[in-house]
Amino acid sequence: MTPEPITADPPRAIDHPASRQQWLHLTFLHWTIGRDTLRRQIPRELELDLFDGKAWIGLVPFNLQFGGMGTFPETNVRTYVVDAKGRRGVWFFSLDAARLAAVVGARVAYGLPYFWNTMSVTVANGAVTYRSKRLHGPAGFSDIVVQPGVVINEPTAFEHFLTARWRLFARRFGRIVSADVDHPRWPLQRAVVEKLEQNLVPVNGAPIVHFSSGVAVRATWPESV
C-alpha cells in the first residue's frame, strides 16, 4: 500500500460541508517519538504515517470560530496515520476545548476524544500565549508562549506533511470513521518558543515550531472506513 501524495492543497473540494469553521492563531509544535510507542496506541486498521522513517507527535493550540458557538480556544494532541486505501490523515489522542457544547457535540457526532477545559489565547507585543487546564478526565494542562517570525514563502514537503492534513480518523461506536476537510493553503511562519510547560505530550526536548494566522475550514460528516 502506497500512501497518497503529500499535497499543499486539498485533493478534493467539499461542495456540501457539514460545518464551516475558522481556525485562528495556530501554533504547530512537533516532536519525533518512538514508533513502537505510538503503534501501541493506534487502531490496527491504521498504520503510522512516517516521514524519513520517523514518527511524529504534535501539540496544536489555537482559536476556533464555529457558527453560533462563537470563538473559543482548543488544544489537540495528534499523530499522523494512513488507512488501508493509502489515505493520509490525523489521529487525535486528545482534544481540549473551552466550550462544553462543542465537547459533547464532537464526541457524539465524530467520536473524537474531546475534554472540557479552561483555556485562553492572547496576543501581545507580537507574542501568542496559550494557557489551558482540563476540567474533567485525565489531568492536563499547558502554558505556552511563542513568538511568530519570518514568513515561509515556499514550505518544504516536510512542512506540508506536518500541517497540510485533509482527513481525520476516529473511533465512533466501535468502528473507525473518517471525515474530510478542505481549506486554503496554510500561511506559515517560523516561530520561537519562549515558554513551554505541559503534560499533554510525553516528550522532552525542543520541538519543531510553525505558526499560522489561520484559515477558513469546511468539513464533512464522518463515514465508516
| pLDDT tens-digit map of 140-181 | 999 999 999 999 999 999 999 999 999 999 999 999 999 999
Indicate the number of domains in the chain.
1
Q: Which residues pair with 62 in a beta bridge?
A: 74
Q: pLDDT for 22-79, tens place per residue?
A: 999 999 999 999 999 899 999 999 999 999 999 999 999 999 998 878 899 999 999 9
Does residue 48 fall inside a structural domain? yes
Mean pLDDT of 1-29: 94
Does residue 74 fall inside a structural domain? yes
Mean pLDDT of 213-220: 97
Does residue 17 fall inside a structural domain? no
Does residue 157 fall inside a structural domain? yes
- Other CB atoms within a 10 A radius of the CB of residue 132 amount to 24
Q: Which amino acid is at 211?
A: F
Q: pLDDT for 88-103, tens place per residue?
A: 999 999 999 999 999 9
Does residue 126 fall inside a structural domain? no
| CA-based nearest residue to 129, from 145, 111, 110 | 145
Does residue 82 fall inside a structural domain? yes
Does residue 109 fall inside a structural domain? yes
Q: How many residues does the chain have?
A: 225
Q: Is the pLDDT reported for residue 1 higher than 90? A: no
- pTM (whole model) above 0.85: yes
Q: Structural domain of residue 79, as residue ranges? A: 25-117+150-192+204-224
Does residue 1 fall inside a structural domain? no
| Residue 86 binned pLDDT confidence (cut-offs 50, 70, 90) | very high
Instruction: Tell me if residue 161 falls in helix, strand or coil.
Output: helix
